[in-house]
Amino acid sequence: MNRPLRRLSLVVAFLFFALFASTTWIQFLRADQLNAMPGNSRQLYAEFGRERGAILVDGGAAIASSVTSDDQYDRLRTYAAGQLYAPVTGYYSLRYGTSGIERAENDVLAGSADELFYRNLSSLLTGEQPKGASVTLTLRPKVQQAAWDALDGRKGAVVALDPDTGDILAMVSSPSYDPNTLATHDGDAEAQSWKSLNADEDDPLINRATGSLYPPGSTFKLVTAAAALESGDYTADTQLDGPQELALPQTSNTLKNDEGTACGPGDKVSLADALKISCNTAFGSLGLKLGADTIESQAAKFGFGQSLSIPTSVATSRYPTGDAVAGPLLAYSAIGQGSDVATPLQVAMLSAGIANDGVVMKPNLIANVRDSDSADVIEEPAPEELGRAVSSGTAKTLQQMMELVVSSGTGTRAQIDGATVGGKTGTAQHGAGLPPYAWFTSFAEKGGKKVAVAVVIEDGGSTESAYGGRLSAPVAKTVMEAALDG
């Protein structure tokens, strides 16, 4: 063989080898990764031929299910309650993939999870498509509906937790969307809905309860109060500096109270009364004395800085460090301003941990996973402790202080006849000239039942209308009543 032919044969051999290597890499080594991509429509086409499992709520009602379709895709995903549960269930779309529980529990719902292998053996032998398992959520329809109705279309979020287990009883985000418009097999309608939803400046596709980070405002004073009590240097009766204006270190600026007055005679106020009337200067001065490390450590025990999965992803709430809490900024961070950010879920965890004797439970959305045919329980998550935030003694003191907020302080609109209710209001500034966010976090107990709730209403009017929980406390009250009566 002459030299040119040998060279050509080497080039051809190399090209065959490159083709073999690339094909092997794509079809075998990267197969799982490519199949898992949300935009892989081919994988979704295959899944649409299967009997996808239903998503249920407490009591067994299906809020997401698959029905027979009269087109080439065999099955159509439908959402019975539309906007009410959309931020939780997410969507199941041919073109745009999945979100929410549809994504987090996709393997189970599609019937391809490892734990379903032996149950699907008969399907493999007969050539039938494996059936998906059903996923039951911890959400209670009555509580979810009450939260949705009480929010009344305003931008914001509501989260209700069982303090003892961490189960999420309600999770509402507003504005919401109708996932049926993304599950449709009409490609043009699907694309138009996607374009419209993404162009909406109110971001209806975002689950504000877990995916949005807000300045927590005065709800964070619970963390600062907890840090003070846990230090052993403070009690509920300890007198704090609560002047009309607090001089801040390294600056000529001052921290002021919303009412423009001192928080007590002689510019002094007890820790309990400071929480009851939400005194900015008292908690600002307390934060300066405690120090950033002490507050950061306490915030972490409540869940700040921790990565959570419920099993949908949760944005990480953060207490600032370094330069963000240096000098005068520490006073602002102690009252939930500055660079503090939290999800509504995290703010609900504050009240839940305090109500649960100081132990914060890991929040959870999944009640159980059941086989589609036999209804046998395949998986049933057990309650899991996230950690102890405060001692039982400190938790009891904080409970009493929060009860004062509701009985005679800024949160009187959350009072419930026959129930023990504790809470904390919050007015979170988030930009010059912009209406503040209106917060309320609370717990309630009646007849052995307990619930913890957090409410945030974006741009909740003027400072005066948001202060005292005028907007957010009544929403929390409605949700707590539904949970205690359910």
Q: Which residues are catalytic?
A: 218
In angstroms, what is the C-alpha Rg of the chain? Answer: 27
**Residue 96 burial class via C-beta count within 10 angstroms: exposed 0-12, middle 13-18, buried 19 and up:** buried
Distances (CA, A) of 172 to 140, 216, 457: 12, 18, 12
DSSP string, 275-298: HHTT-HHHHHHHHHHH-HHHHHHH
Q: What is the largest CA-CA distance in the chain?
A: 106
Check if the beta carbon of residue 141 is closer than 8 Å to that of residue 328: no
Check if the beta carbon of residue 274 is closer than 8 Å to that of residue 283: yes
Q: What residues does 368 pair with on adjacent strands?
A: 136
The residue type found at 3 is: R
Q: Do β-strands 449-457 and 437-446 pair in parallel, antiparallel, or remain unpaired?
A: antiparallel
Name, in order, each residue with C-beta under 8 angstroms of 363's C-beta and a sequence gap of 6 or more: 161, 166, 167, 168, 308, 310, 314, 345, 348, 349
User: Other CB atoms closer than 10 Å to residue 260's CB: what's the count?
Assistant: 8
DSSP 3-state assignment of 91?
A: coil
89: nearest Cα among 78, 100, 81, 97: 100
Check if the beta carbon of residue 267 is closer than 8 Å to that of residue 314: no
**Can you say whether the dihedral through the CA atoms of 363, 155, 426, 148 is positive or negative?**
negative
The C-alpha atoms of residue 417 and residue 419 are separated, in whole angstroms, by 6
Check if the beta carbon of residue 257 is closer than 8 Å to that of residue 467: no
Reported as type and span, the H/E element at residue 151 is helix 141-151
Residue holding tokens 């809490």? 325
